Structure 1
Amino acid sequence: MRVISAIFILIVSQLSAQDVNKLAEKHIKENGVQIIDDFKTLLSMPNVAFDLPNINKNAQHIISELNDRGVETKLLRMVGTPPIVYGYYPVEGADRTLAFYVHYDGQPVDKTKWTHNPWEPVYYSDAMFNGGEPMDFPSKTEDIEENHRIYVRSAGDDKAPIITILTALDMIHANKLAVTSNLVFFFEGQEEAGSDQLHQYLSDNRELVDEIDLWLFCDGPVHQSRKPQLVFGVRGVTGMEITTYGPNRPLHSGHYGNWAPVPGQLLSDLIASMKDEEGNVIIEGFYDDVEPLSKLEKEALANIPPIDESLKEELGINDPEGTETYNERLLLPSLTIKGLSSGNTGKLARNVVPATATAAIGMRLVKGCDPEKQKDLVEAHIRKQGFHIVREDPDQETRMRYPKIAKVTRSGGYPAARTSMDLPIIQGVIERSKDVAGEDLILLPTLGGSLPLYLFTDELKKPAIILPIANHDNNQHAADENLRIGNLWYGIKLMGALMTMEE
């Protein structure tokens, strides 16, 4: 067991990030097999949020690993909820506290879609789509190549940062380096389930988080150009389901077709009215509250390498929505049809006019957009198309009173968040990260996905940025999720550099 003394080691002079890089590379070269084996152990534990026995097993394992490295730990608990793994690593004389957020839960799995058992890590010579083949886990470090991959749930989202943090601490201790900030480790167990209790956890434990100067969210993939990136914001998220109605029971399409209103047609027309031919949302006011970028953010956006053509080729898309670039589209609120249902298709199709049709609509929000207001705008548009909105299935009286009826079921959600690149502490992280990633480091104003970052930036009033390390093609949330070994090594170097950066 790698038990570290509670007396934290300081050295007279602080090393540059390049020097820390070299020490991290040396540590990886000497301990690569052990690092991968530790990762394999963590990945072998099922971690779906509602599976509390296994979630608690994950939490206890992580607590033990942090304790072995001299971190003061505790489990923050609420009844029936995955616990928060909290760790504190104080440094004598430090004037700054950095918090590393990671979530240790993962998405549910459909085993029928996976090539292998999603809870048993499998080592591959390369990505499956590149012709990679399964192989034995390495027994010698010299047998490890950066393009090797581990396939298993949560390899890329989001257990990799846990191992990079633990290994960075090992490297720092082994080389007697100075940790230059107080460190907080805040590992959540229900992010993939919506983080419903995160607000309460933060509220109940304000004394543990009030001193934090910067939150570092360790989640997400590197840029699609394969270059490392820092991300300064996330989109918010909300949505709704819309159900339209035809007859009060399915009808024979021969007897009633051309007479009975078809709910699928009504719904299709309604959805089509929400966007123009370019894919822009034409709901009145939908873009009005978008907060503009700062000068520094505009400069960062202009320096991001173009990826549209390569993405079109990779994803088989001929004509993307909008006229802006991919990165520019991330800075606008979106409206996506996540799913449609009405009747059956294929061999189950029947000659009927269905009674209902339903669409699930997802909305991603950018800084300035309020989730409830965006849903209000969509509902106002639905009414303008002649629909009467209900919250429950309509009764006979309602059906006879209104020609077009839509049931709208609103989802929850949360707003977008974005941290200014101009802050001195942020500039320090940028420069230190460039020493690891090189001048090709991408500074992305907003990630396309969503995280409850607003709880930290808007409610705790603290800056927060995202440190993505996973490969962009890691299949997060999908079958055959994976992590490229080179990205694991990058994460170790980045964590080590940030833990030792000058104040």
Structure 2
Amino acid sequence: MKKYFIFFLLSFLIVESVSAQSPEVITIKKYGTENAGNIIKEFSEFLYLPNVAADPVGQQKNADFIMNMMTKRGIQKVQLLRANTVGVPPAVYGEVNVPGATKTLIFYAHYDGQPVNPAQWAKGLEPFQPKLFTDAINKGGTNIPFPADGSYKSEWRIYARGASDDKAGINAIINAYDAIIKSGLAPNYNLKFFFEGEEEAGSPHLHEILEKHQSLLQSDLWIICDGPIHQSGKKQIIFGVRGDVNLELTVYASKRPLHSGHYGNWAPNPAMMLAKLLSSMKDDTGRVTIKGFYDDVTPLSLLEKKSLDEVPSVDEQMKKELGISAVEMKGVTLSEAINQPTLNINGMQSGNVGKMASNQIPTYATAVLDLRLVLGNDWKRQQQKVINHIKAEGYYVSETEPTDEEREKYAKIIKVVSNSDGVNAQRTSMDLPIIQKVIAAVKTTTQNQIVLQPTMGGTLPLFLFEKYLKAKTVTIPIANHDNNQHAENENIRIGNLFEGIVMMASIMMFK
């Protein structure tokens, strides 16, 4: 079995040593050295385009930019795949038919991004004005101009919304193909490209696109380029994702705010009521106490358990990095924790704090719960388990604000708004032959251990590919673990960007 050892990193990047380099490696490395400036220049132009999921005009500009990237590289049948619902951001599609190829890979990334609050970004940073820094800002990195000679260093970082999540993935996929072709080499698979524009909004219309274009989107495997590499710095391959669904809870008490002196100890306090309710949902070991919460979890296979045991521990590293001394689930590693369903509090609100604080008993208290799901959980069923627990705690549950009649009848009233577009978890078997080829391909890019994770902590709509296309998926992340995705100061480490190109090229070419 011939292997193409693709190491498409620039000569100035710090890379792991290799025992030998094939002619293909040398050729592609030369291409990278000569085109580094153009790769970063195009990437920066891409980052200048606002890509907030709720902005259809901005989303269309991003889709047009990607189409141009693909067309000028000779990718065929470049087109926009639209949902039946009007106004939905399209998916950008293209394909390459390779003579003699018997299998097809589809490469996926998304071009939409999370909303931004410029006031929260570091001084001098604008979310859609990419800037280059010598290191992470919190490590003392300083802003420098983009070098005219294309001489980038591994530790340098580009700061901008979408830099890591997930325009880096699109950049890596398209430039991997470009590097192969312009170096006189060839992919071993038929290739398809699918770049979504609605992932950060929960992919509510992705199923329409998949169902409408079923025949076009047939493949042997989807390669998902999203998310960060392992916290240890090692490359990782992820075989599944957690599902996700939300609940909004609002506890009601008095119809008007009350003086805490005149009414304290007498009028119910909704903030205290909500705090007690939330506290009843978990014990001191971090286990969810809701009845049946873990009952329908599909156990890991023996191979998945073995891979999980071999994941490097980063618990002490991350505790130090995050400034925490203890973890929620006692005796459970980070890797083990993300393979279990969770109940998280995303936020709570009641009354005022800080300079706006006043001596009052508020009228209501609100919290948003985030339920992360693993294989076997159903998002509707998981929501209902929480609602059943709330009822068992003595609450009258409504979907609307309480009426006067309900206030007179029930002592404990809560409004529960159930998210109606949850996402279930998905997991692909590690022992499939084509999966083994992907693992082998990624191994050719490094002499270090490849981390094999049964499940990613985050959520992608991968169950939809399985449901509508009967497709298998595997996720190959490229971003640095401290990339601040979804938050202020999002960034991509230059070394990770180019390592991503390496991995995508290795998968396209591996035999």
Counterpart of 2:430 in structure 1: which amino acid? M
Structure 1 pair 24–489 and aligned structure 2 pair: CA distance change class (3 A): farther
Cross-structure match for 2:149: 140
CA-CA distance at 1:26 after TM superposition: 2.5
What fraction of aligned residue pairs are identical, expressed as a percent? 48
1:201 and 2:209 matched: yes
Q: Distance in 2 between matches of 1:31 and 1:385?
A: 63
Q: Distance in 1 between matches of 2:447 and 2:343?
A: 36
Alignment of 1:345-424 (within 5 A): 345-412=353-420, 413-424=422-433
CA-CA distance at 1:50 after TM superposition: 2.1
Q: Distance in 1 between matches of 2:58 and 2:477?
A: 26
Q: Distance in 1 between matches of 2:394 and 2:298?
A: 32
Contact preservation (8 Å) 1:43, 1:154: yes
Cross-structure match for 2:299: 292
Alignment of 1:31-50 (within 5 A): 31-50=35-54
Cross-structure match for 1:9: none
Contact preservation (8 Å) 1:339, 1:360: yes
Alignment of 1:15-26 (within 5 A): 15-17=4-6, 19=22, 20-26=24-30
What's the CA shift string for 1:179-225, capped at 9, x where partnerless? 11111100011111121110001111111112x11001110010111
Q: Distance in 2 between matches of 1:14 and 1:251?
A: 73
What's the CA shift string for 1:145-178, capped at 9, x where partnerless? 1111111111000011222122222221122212
Q: Distance in 1 between matches of 2:409 and 2:446?
A: 64
Alignment of 1:72-471 (within 5 A): 72=76, 73-78=78-83, 79-115=86-122, 116-141=125-150, 143-210=151-218, 212-322=219-329, 323-412=331-420, 413-471=422-480
Give SS of 2:43's match. helix
Q: Distance in 1 between matches of 2:491 and 2:434?
A: 33
Contact preservation (8 Å) 1:25, 1:493: no
CA-CA distance at 1:501 after TM superposition: 1.2
What's the RMSD between the two structures over aligned residues? 1.3
Q: Distance in 2 between matches of 1:68 and 1:14?
A: 29
Q: Distance in 1 between matches of 2:133 and 2:241?
A: 32
CA-CA distance at 1:30 after TM superposition: 1.9
Counterpart of 2:508 in structure 1: which amino acid? M
Unmatched segments (≥5 aa) in structure 2 = 7-20
Counterpart of 1:273 in structure 2: which amino acid? S
Contact preservation (8 Å) 2:80, 2:92: yes
Q: Distance in 2 between matches of 1:438 and 1:370?
A: 39
Cross-structure match for 1:62: 66
Structure 1 pair 24–493 and aligned structure 2 pair: CA distance change class (3 A): farther
Q: Distance in 1 between matches of 2:447 and 2:201?
A: 35
Unmatched segments (≥5 aa) in structure 1 = 1-12
Deviates more, 1:22-31 or 1:115-124: 22-31
Q: Distance in 2 between matches of 1:284 and 1:297?
A: 27
Q: Distance in 1 between matches of 2:325 and 2:505?
A: 42
CA-CA distance at 1:16 after TM superposition: 4.6
Counterpart of 1:382 in structure 2: which amino acid? I
2:32 to 28, 32, 55: 28
Contact preservation (8 Å) 1:21, 1:497: no
Contact preservation (8 Å) 2:28, 2:183: no
CA-CA distance at 1:84 after TM superposition: 0.9
Contact preservation (8 Å) 2:207, 2:468: no
Structure 1 pair 403–90 and aligned structure 2 pair: CA distance change class (3 A): same
Contact preservation (8 Å) 1:24, 1:493: no
The runs of at least 4 aligned residues of structure 1 exceeding 6 Å deviation read none
Contact preservation (8 Å) 1:21, 1:436: no
Cross-structure match for 2:489: 480
Contact preservation (8 Å) 1:14, 1:178: no
Give SS of 1:414's match. coil
Q: Distance in 1 between matches of 2:269 and 2:149?
A: 65
Counterpart of 2:82 in structure 1: which amino acid? R
Counterpart of 2:309 in structure 1: which amino acid? A
CA-CA distance at 1:244 after TM superposition: 1.0
TM-score (norm 1): 0.95
Contact preservation (8 Å) 2:214, 2:468: no
